[in-house]
């Protein structure tokens, strides 16, 4: 019943956008992308707060909004963690224990409009901008991103090249923005006119068309060593996303799993990530 109600509301938005586009194509695009960029959950729950209180917390201002960071001390290089859509820094709890045991310094932060960070809108360019502020403050050597956090890690290194970032890890990350938009269009049911207005919006505000915002394209310009971890049965982000990125990322390795889902909190995954961080930086190797 709940799923049916959600579907009805989603289709109602599609009808609204389609009608609005008849009168104002521009406004329809703005409304559609705003809905797409508005998280419905991801706040820190009481049961999650106790874990995050173990960290040192610092708030960093980005564009007039306070971004909540969490850090754990360590003797090894700092690792920056980027969570995914409608999540928060608590999602890293298992990996954080592994990183602490390995003596890495750790930094995590709640994305805009998530967790204890301010804001109501979330998108990859904004997330990357916040990441850049965090990078300047904490100077991490490694970045690990889950889902859209992985997409952000790649885009960040593309738009803000930084030789201090030695390695990037993506976990169940999407690659192509157009695939995300196709999924959104299928759920909501808006027409080609609305999609064209979204294209105009992304070109104007982000400098990219829907087809152009692509991790598989961005990594072609990234010399940083990368590890992609993806489950072949991922029900949220299809496995082919990481296959495509790996094929275009000269200095990357792809670890494929089966039956571990999208979140990938398992010890097996965390151990492989730790091993990758500990390994010596290699010269560029072919995909």
CATH code: domain 43-175+218-278 is: 3.40.50.1820
Q: Is 87 left (phi over 0), alpha (psi -120 to 50) or beta?
A: beta
Per-residue model confidence (pLDDT) at position 9: 81
Give the integer Cα–Cα distance in Å for 120 and 137.
Answer: 24
Pairing verdict, β 104-109 and 65-72: antiparallel
pLDDT tens-digit map of 70-80: 999 999 999 99
Compute the distance between CA of residue 130 and CA of residue 174 in angstroms, rounded to an integer: 19
pLDDT at 283: 46
- Copy the structure tokens of residue 166: 């030695």
Q: Could you give the CA distance from residue 122 to residue 216 in angstroms, rounded to a whole number?
A: 21
- Show the DSSP H helices in the chain as ranges: 2-23, 25-36, 46-52, 93-101, 124-138, 148-159, 177-188, 192-206, 215-218, 240-248, 267-278
Please report the pLDDT score of residue 284 as a whole number: 47
With DSSP H G I counted as helix, E B as strand and the rest as coil, what are the percentages for the chain, rounded to 5?
45, 20, 35
Q: Note the pLDDT of residue 8.
A: 83
pLDDT of residue 286: 39
Give the integer Cα–Cα distance in Å for 111 and 87: 9
Tens digit of each residue's pLDDT (9 = 90 or more) over 269-287: 999 999 999 997 654 443 3
**What pLDDT score was predicted for residue 281?**
64
Question: Domain segments of the chain: what residues?
Answer: 1-36+177-213, 43-175+218-278
Q: What is the DSSP letter of 175?
A: -
Say how far apart CA 197 and CA 195 lie, in whole Å: 5
Average pLDDT on 164-181 reads 98
Is 5 a residue whose pLDDT tops 70? Answer: no
Q: Is the dihedral of CA 210, 87, 112, 141 positive or negative?
A: negative
Average pLDDT over residues 14-29: 94
For residues 114 and 83, the answer to whether their CB atoms sit within 8 Å is yes
Whole-Å CA distances, 277 to 84, 137, 227, 272: 21, 21, 9, 9
The mean pLDDT of the chain is 95
Q: Whose structure tokens read 């792809």?
A: 254
Q: What is the pTM of this model?
A: 0.94
**Closest by CA position to 127, among listed 181, 73, 72, 67:** 67
- At 178, phi and psi to the nearest 5? -65, -30
Spatial distance between the Cα atoms of 146 and 229, rounded to a whole number of angstroms: 9
Residue 6 has pLDDT above 80, yes or no: no
Do the beta carbons of residue 66 and residue 59 sit within 8 Å?
yes
């Amino acid at each position: 019943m709940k799923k049916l109600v959600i579907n009805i509301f989603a289709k109602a938005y599609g009808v609204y956008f389609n009608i609005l586009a008849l009168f104002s194509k521009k406004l329809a695009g703005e409304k559609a992308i705003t809905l797409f960029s508005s998280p419905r959950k991801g706040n820190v729950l009481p049961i999650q707060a106790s874990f995050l209180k173990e960290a040192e917390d610092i708030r960093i201002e980005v564009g007039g909004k306070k971004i909540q960071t969490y850090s754990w001390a360590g003797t090894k290089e700092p690792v920056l963690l980027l969570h995914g859509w409608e999540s928060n820094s608590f999602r890293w709890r298992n990996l954080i224990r592994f990183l602490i045991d390995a003596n890495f310094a750790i930094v995590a932060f709640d994305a805009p409009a998530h967790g204890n960070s301010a804001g109501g809108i979330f998108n990859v360019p904004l997330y990357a901008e916040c990441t850049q502020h965090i990078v300047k403050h904490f100077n991490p050597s490694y970045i690990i991103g889950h889902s859209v956090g992985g997409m952000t890690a790649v885009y960040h290194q593309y738009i803000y090249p930084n030789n201090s970032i030695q390695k990037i890890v993506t976990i169940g990350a999407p690659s192509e923005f157009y695939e995300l938009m196709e999924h959104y269009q299928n759920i909501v049911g808006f027409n080609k006119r609305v999609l064209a207005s979204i294209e105009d919006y992304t070109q104007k505000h982000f400098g990219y068309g829907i087809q152009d915002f692509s991790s598989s394209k961005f990594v072609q310009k990234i010399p940083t060593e990368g590890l992609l971890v993806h489950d072949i049965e991922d029900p949220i982000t299809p496995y082919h996303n990481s296959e495509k990125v790996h094929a275009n990322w000269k200095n990357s390795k792809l670890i494929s799993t089966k039956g571990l889902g999208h979140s990938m909190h398992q010890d097996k995954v965390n151990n492989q990530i730790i091993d990758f961080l500990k390994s010596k930086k290699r010269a560029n190797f072919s995909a």
